Structure 1
Amino acid sequence: MLYTKMTPTIQPLATLLLALSASFIWIVDAETDQLTELKLNSHILQESIAKQINQNSGAGWKAAINPRFSNFTVGQFMRLLGVKQTPGNELISIPVVTHSKSLKLPKNFDARTAWSQCSTIGRILDQGHCGSCWAFGAVESLSDRFCIHLDVNVSLSVNDMVACCGLLCGAGCGGGELFAAWLYLTHHGVVTEECDPYFDEIGCSHPGCEPTYRTPKCVKKCVNENLLWEESKHFSVKAYTLNSDPQDIMAEVYKNGPVEVSFTVYEDFAHYKSGVYKHITGYELGGHAVKLIGWGTSDDGEDYWLLANQWNRNWGDDGYFKIKRGTNECGIEGHVTAGLPSTKNLVIEEVTDMGADFSS
């Protein structure tokens, strides 16, 4: 299977700085200081919030008391929101990709059907009680792109990145930086899930066991003795962010597959069940990273993004959610990160260059 050709252009530095300064970047735990201890220890799911959403005819979405968080406090829920701030001096050197405006895009697009041969695109995982969303979004997107571009169906290890990236990425279960995650994929790669699974056989490994939330140890040894750690590594080539223009984001997903995005989470988001999400009520709690897999327009005429979360299928719409598209709702269009699959460690008979012209 041949690579899909991509011919991005890199924005001038001044434009990049302007775009980044206009984008909202979270500082993890900053909001904690503004929330009282009573609030942090209260339940994240509130009947009053669900009622307020469901009685609002203009909300555009339905709320529910999702089983996934039935026993979570606000403080516990905030631990899942692991997007850390990228230092300002590092932002300057990050490539920003744009796409040709002449590309004709469909009104509706779903990567699960566009690349139906790729089983990883439709998987809904569970980050447990670990603030590892930053790693899930990156590793899941790269897994999808291995199938899309190289015809390699592989599930890559989130655990490798959470446990082994260390200070390069952030703090493991305490959160990490999106672009740093893609740099790890480029320079160090990750092994397969078969080599280093996120959960053990009973579904309660490091991040799934309350109340410690500890980052797992970096072992660098496959649980399957027939596999070798270094030979199981899969890499990305380059890492880049997308221009915040929805057209560029759609073109990227259409050409190259799912991307990692991050956005601001408020209390009401925990109650999402269906429809096109817009923030209605509740405190700001932190930054969360997920995988963007498509877009469309609802029956009510609302443009939306389609995203896969990693909070299991008993949250939201079978694990997925939609959020308003075109208005940078909750900053969803301001933080889009991606990379391309590398042939390193793979035996590929024929591969063509994607024509990407990257520079800092």
Structure 2
Amino acid sequence: MRTAAWAALALTLLLAAAVRPAAAGCRRRQRTEPVPPEDMYFNHQPAPQKTLEELPKEWDWNNVDGRSMLVPSWNQHIPQYCGSCWLHGTTSMIQDRLKIVKGGIGPDVMLARQVVLNCGAFHGYGQGCDGGDVIDVVRYMKHFGLPDESCQARGGPYSATDHTKYGKAATRCPGEGYCTNCMPLKGKDTCWPVHTPIRYYLSAYGKMDEPGELGMMNEIYHRGPITCSMATHEGFDYGYHHGVARNNPNATDVDHDVEIVGWGEQEDGLKYWLVRNSWGSYFGQLGFFKIERGVNALRMEEGDCWYAIPTWQDEQDVRSGKKEGTMWGIFDKEEAEAIIPEGHRHPHFKHHDGQLAAQHAAPAEGDDDVATSWDGTVGGTYDNTPEDHPDGAVPTQQQAQEAQQALAGVQQVQAQASLRVRPFGAAAEQA
């Protein structure tokens, strides 16, 4: 009986491995329109440069003077398979850099990755669960920003679905696809789009100027983790458990994006990268793996590596009291005080006169799983969505320079807006 069980398990694993190559690719294969050259970089400034001899032998953003500057890991594969490594590898890098920019003060921010799957394709930024690229994520964040995961409603923070769930007639992302809140109002379970959540934007992004080990190490050391593409293969997907993964010259299909958080060297002189995957904490070493460094293992050092510099102005405005949080988002103090208490209409956003937007089909009145709009109209929508209010989407040059300084000077006390941020978790103080 035991032998039969093991045989069945072995057959299952073999079948899984057999279909893996067809399903594993999560990077966009081709674009209907090329990315304009001016969009490939935004406020680009190369990181400071040190020689290999000047850089430390080991560096790990998960252990900076005994403290981690990384936020938790994700799993792109649940509750169902979704080819979104491009999204996970990029947002993981950005939210780790956000923690670094903030000097480690909490709470940690987990960006709403589902928003990019819901909304990005409507702007040509990725193809949802069918693949995308780093440039899709950073361009979306530059223009529209991302809220944190507390904005996401049905299906949890990550449902592994994309824009296709809105139907073929959909031409824009509905408000609830970006940020939602739900409460029982007037005796009915009611959901509405939140138009002014706390959002995080980018003041700069770009691809590494020079491929190879030295440029990658300088960017990681001076400004934070980076996102790089790699060529996976069955031996890595199903065979990596621990230690340093070695190069496989037959692995040439670049189909995966990961976050590199540091590097090290074994006693025998074998150099390696420290890499975070997006396959759950049970993969490898708590969700991370090591791979040979300096030999372009699995094509990781070929130059398809990216950085981004996040901004957190909305969060700073709330911390300083400039803006206040409500059930409908954050507002200036005067606006927040004008909001009428529960059960009344939102004072800032007009309802679409009870008519459904073209991308919505009216649900059946008897459907118990239908969330009503704010005034009780089943299936109601709004004239606009959070994407129509991209406040602060394009930072000024001064804001970009401040963000650059914050990342480059993580070893020093930095001043940003109304908060003074100290490195590595010292408490923030009011200026």
Does residue 127 of structure 1 match 2:127? no
Aligned partner of 1:147 in structure 2 is 99
Aligned-residue offset at 1:261:
1.1
TM-score, normalised relative to structure 1 = 0.68
Aligned partner of 2:298 in structure 1 is 330
Aligned-residue offset at 1:99:
3.4
Whether contact under 8 Å (1:268, 1:282) holds in the other structure is no
Aligned-residue offset at 1:172:
0.4
Question: For 1:120-269, what aligned pairs fall within 5 Å after superposition?
Answer: 121-128=70-77, 129-150=81-102, 151=105, 153-166=108-121, 167-196=123-152, 200=156, 205-207=159-161, 217=166, 218-221=173-176, 222-225=179-182, 228-242=194-208, 243-269=210-236
Among candidates 349, 353, 358, match of residue 402 of structure 2: 353
Q: 1:273 to 1:184 in 2, by over 3 A?
A: same
Aligned-residue offset at 1:308:
0.8
Encode CA deviations 1:301-345: one digit per residue, 9 max, x unaligned. 211111111111222222211111112212212211121011342
Q: Tell me which structure has the larger Cα radius of gyration.
A: 2
Aligned partner of 1:26 in structure 2 is none
**CA RMSD of the aligned region, Å?**
3.5
Separation in 2 of the partners of 1:77 and 1:223?
36
Separation in 2 of the partners of 1:117 and 1:302?
25
Alignment coverage as a number of residue pairs = 283
Aligned-residue offset at 1:239:
1.4
Q: Is the partner of 1:135 in helix, strand or coil?
A: helix
Q: Is the partner of 1:194 in helix, strand or coil?
A: helix
Whether contact under 8 Å (1:276, 1:323) holds in the other structure is yes
Does residue 272 of structure 1 match 2:221? no
TM-score, normalised relative to structure 2 = 0.57
Q: 1:308 to 1:229 in 2, by over 3 A?
A: farther
Higher mean alpha-carbon deviation, 74-83 vs 170-179, is at 74-83
Matching residue's letter, 1:90: V
Q: 1:70 to 1:253 in 2, by over 3 A?
A: farther
Q: 1:282 to 1:72 in 2, by over 3 A?
A: farther
Separation in 1 of the partners of 2:73 and 2:253?
23
Among candidates 305, 311, 321, match of residue 342 of structure 1: 311
Aligned-residue offset at 1:77:
5.6
Among candidates 256, 263, 270, match of residue 302 of structure 1: 270
Higher mean alpha-carbon deviation, 307-316 vs 284-293, is at 284-293
Instruction: Report which structure shows greater RCO (CA 8 Å, sep ≥6).
Output: 1
Aligned partner of 2:48 in structure 1 is 99
Alignment identity in percent?
A: 24
Aligned-residue offset at 1:232:
2.9
Q: 1:230 to 1:144 in 2, by over 3 A?
A: same
Separation in 1 of the partners of 2:65 and 2:402?
20
Whether contact under 8 Å (2:248, 2:298) holds in the other structure is no
Separation in 1 of the partners of 2:153 and 2:294?
37
